[in-house]
């Protein structure tokens, strides 16, 4: 089996939104800080693109903790030609790199990737199968947006507008009541770029699930795993549970059975449009304005790798009677992990990247079932 080169182009959606625009310094930094996320599925001898240098001591500690022994590469010129390129998502930028350096690749068509990751696709599937949020609409003009806000069930109700491409609570605006001038300008720019934005009433999130598929070129999509999701109070991704107790697993399948069915249909639909490869679909349970529990099976469709999908790779480190969570946060997050009994914690991000402190931090937490507090409440948040 050939060695793999993992390319963490975590600015993938931004590249889809505007392929010709140079990523911001913040996005470039994001690519650098998240690069080591691939350690979950890498094998000894694989190559890891690190846009900025990472101190060798991090990789020494990682291998000592049982993580794979990978070779970090800050220059594509130094990567052997006989590798298979595995990117976070198949952007045109990555396709050009593959062609230039003649790496191996198994990439779906550019059109299928773009369509599968668009909010237009998820909105069309929600409309076709009547499984979206009441009041959600595709918006093609400011008049349509004003009308959508005016038709909300309550005066001064909260709402969100999302761009065609976005991820982890980025590329969206939040509002309450009539839209502000600054937000009108944001909408005008997205309408000019893509011809539409997507309006949703704001709802109270109960919990969220990552439904992880591998879509083959032929044959039915394969359900790889279910990853209950953790989010912070801003609605941004904060981790995935990749191994739970049998009782919790049964509850997940019961509570989310309808969402899994819809997600499987969506995976089949994307496959018929030419997409193949990793696919993560986020489903959400929420309370509507009448305090009724509802299900949104297609909260987000990600035709790429996801952190939830990568988290499944940490299962290989499980010991008997352990559950596991991949926690994402900042350096301050670690203080909340201290003092837990009967757990093992492995840092999966360096403290510094390019000699600058790494803001994003992540840890794999393996915890003995006997030490679990099964009554812990879910994280409060809303639409991602």
Q: What is the pLDDT of residue 380?
A: 32
CATH assignment of 134-201?
3.30.1490
Q: What is the pLDDT of residue 154?
A: 78
| % of the chain at pLDDT higher than 70 | 94
Q: Which residues of 15-35 are buried (b: 16+ CB within 10 A; e: fewer)?
A: bbbeeeeebeeebebbbbbbb
Burial classification of residue 121, based on how many CB atoms lie within 10 Å of its CB (0-12 exposed, 13-18 middle, 19 or more buried): buried
Q: Model confidence over 276-332: pLDDT tens digits?
A: 999 999 999 999 878 889 999 999 999 999 999 999 999 999 999 999 999 999 998
**Comparing 56 with 168, which gets the higher pLDDT?**
56
- Which 3 state secondary structure label does DSSP give 126? helix
Q: Model confidence over 331-371: pLDDT tens digits?
A: 988 877 876 656 899 999 999 999 999 999 999 999 998 65
Alpha carbon distance 69, 84 (integer Å): 17
Q: What is the pLDDT of residue 369?
A: 85
Alpha carbon distance 17, 12 (integer Å): 9
Residue 163 has pLDDT above 50, yes or no: yes
Q: What is the pLDDT of residue 236?
A: 83
- Mean pLDDT score of the chain, rounded to an integer? 92
- 200, 383 in Cβ contact below 8 A? yes
- In this chain, the answer to whether the domains covering 134-201 and 204-382 adopt an identical fold is no
Which CATH architecture fits 204-382?
Answer: 2-Layer Sandwich (3.30)
Q: What is the pLDDT of residue 33?
A: 97
Q: Which residues of 300-332 are buried (b: 16+ CB within 10 A; e: fewer)?
A: bbbbbbbbbbbbbbbeebeeeebbbbbbbbeee
Q: Model confidence over 51-101: pLDDT tens digits?
A: 999 999 999 999 999 999 999 999 999 999 999 999 999 999 999 999 999
Q: What is the pLDDT of residue 379?
A: 37
Q: What is the pLDDT of residue 347?
A: 96
Place of tokens 């990567």: 79
Rg of the chain in Å (alpha carbons): 21
pTM of the model as a whole = 0.92
* Spatial strand order in the sheet of 197-201: 137-139, 197-201, 158-162, 172-176
Q: Model confidence over 224-233: pLDDT tens digits?
A: 999 999 988 7
Domain positions in the chain are 4-107, 134-201, 204-382
């Amino acid at each position: 089996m050939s060695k793999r080169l993992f390319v963490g182009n975590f600015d993938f959606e931004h590249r889809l939104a505007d392929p010709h625009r140079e990523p911001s310094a913040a996005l470039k930094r994001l690519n650098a800080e998240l690069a080591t996320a691939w350690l979950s599925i890498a094998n000894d001898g694989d190559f890891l693109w690190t846009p900025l240098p990472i101190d060798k001591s991090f990789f020494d500690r990682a291998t000592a903790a049982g993580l794979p022994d990978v070779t970090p590469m800050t220059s594509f010129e130094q990567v052997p030609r006989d590798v298979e390129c595995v990117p976070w998502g198949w952007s045109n930028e990555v396709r050009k790199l593959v062609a230039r350096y003649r790496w191996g690749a198994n990439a779906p068509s550019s059109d299928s990737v773009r369509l599968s990751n668009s909010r237009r696709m998820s909105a069309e599937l929600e409309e076709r199968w009547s499984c979206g949020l009441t009041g959600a609409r595709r918006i093609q003009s400011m008049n349509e947006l004003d009308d959508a806000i005016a038709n909300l069930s309550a005066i001064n109700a909260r709402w969100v507008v999302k761009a065609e491409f976005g991820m982890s609570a980025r590329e969206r605006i939040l509002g309450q009541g009539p839209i502000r001038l600054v937000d009108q300008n944001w909408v005008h720019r997205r309408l000019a770029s893509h011809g539409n934005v997507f309006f949703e009433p704001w709802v109270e999130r109960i919990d969220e699930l990552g439904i992880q598929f591998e879509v083959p070129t032929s044959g039915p999509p394969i359900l790889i795993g279910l990853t209950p999701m953790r989010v912070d109070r801003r609605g941004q991704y904060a981790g995935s549970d990749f191994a739970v107790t049998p009782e919790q697993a049964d509850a997940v399948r019961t509570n989310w059975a309808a969402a899994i069915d819809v997600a499987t249909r969506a995976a089949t639909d994307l496959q018929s449009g030419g997409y193949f490869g990793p696919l993560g679909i986020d489903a959400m349970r929420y309370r509507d304005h009448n305090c009724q529990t509802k299900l949104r099976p297609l909260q987000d469709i990600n035709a790429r790798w996801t952190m939830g999908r990568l988290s499944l790779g940490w299962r290989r480190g499980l010991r008997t009677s352990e559950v596991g969570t991949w926690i994402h946060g900042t350096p301050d997050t670690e203080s909340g992990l201290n003092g837990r009994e009967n757990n093992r914690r492995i840092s999966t991000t360096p403290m510094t990247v390019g000699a600058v402190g790494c803001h994003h931090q992540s840890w794999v937490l393996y915890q003995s079932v006997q030490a679990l507090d099964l009554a812990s409440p879910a994280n409060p948040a809303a639409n991602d």
